[in-house]
Amino acid sequence: MAVTSRPRGVARRDAILDAVITVVAEFGVDGVTHRRVAETAGLPLASTTYWFASREAMLEAALRGAAAHDIVRLREGADALADATDVADALLSLMFDSGEDSLRSSHTHLLGAYALWLEAARRPALRDVAIAWEETYVEVAATMLARAGSADPAGHARVIVCAIDGLILQQLVSGSTPEIRSTLHALITSMVSAR
């Protein structure tokens, strides 16, 4: 009989936060309880209450963790693509082709992260995280667009990020995959070539 080891210490905390996002994706923010998160993480209930005194603390930490992880990934990816000749392809690669390390690699995590991001409209404790996360996308896109010669990199970046969010939300709701890449490629190319 194989014995599976449970995470310990900070790894246990990370497993709890990952489970929070999974629970939010499946049951919504109101479905987050210490017991459900512990069950999803495969940990004893005492683990969630040890690390987080309240449901609100779990929600905030989950959003902060997801944002921090994705912000590092974005910045490192943008640096790696600094010399790209096709800014549209490079930007789309950064936003969508991020491998298993990206929230976009998992429908469940993407749905959970967006639900938490939207919850920031009701919970001031989440608002600063959601804004900083969104602004990082705008900042990275603006830097890449400026290198490509965009006449209004900051304005164009905001339009692109809003378009990405809208298209992803449409995909999450409908279950279908609209032509996100081709739509965004055309949009980005038009912004760079209309100088």
The Cα 1–Cα 16 span in angstroms is: 26
Contact between 49 and 88 (Cβ < 8 Å): no
The top-scoring range by mean pLDDT among 3-12, 80-89, 146-155 is 146-155
For the chain, give the number of residues: 195
- What is the value of pTM for the model shown? 0.82
Domain boundaries 63-193, corresponding CATH code: 1.10.357.10
Select the more confidently predicted residue: 176 or 20.
20
Listed by start position, the domains of the chain span 63-193
Query: Span 13-31, mean pLDDT?
Result: 95
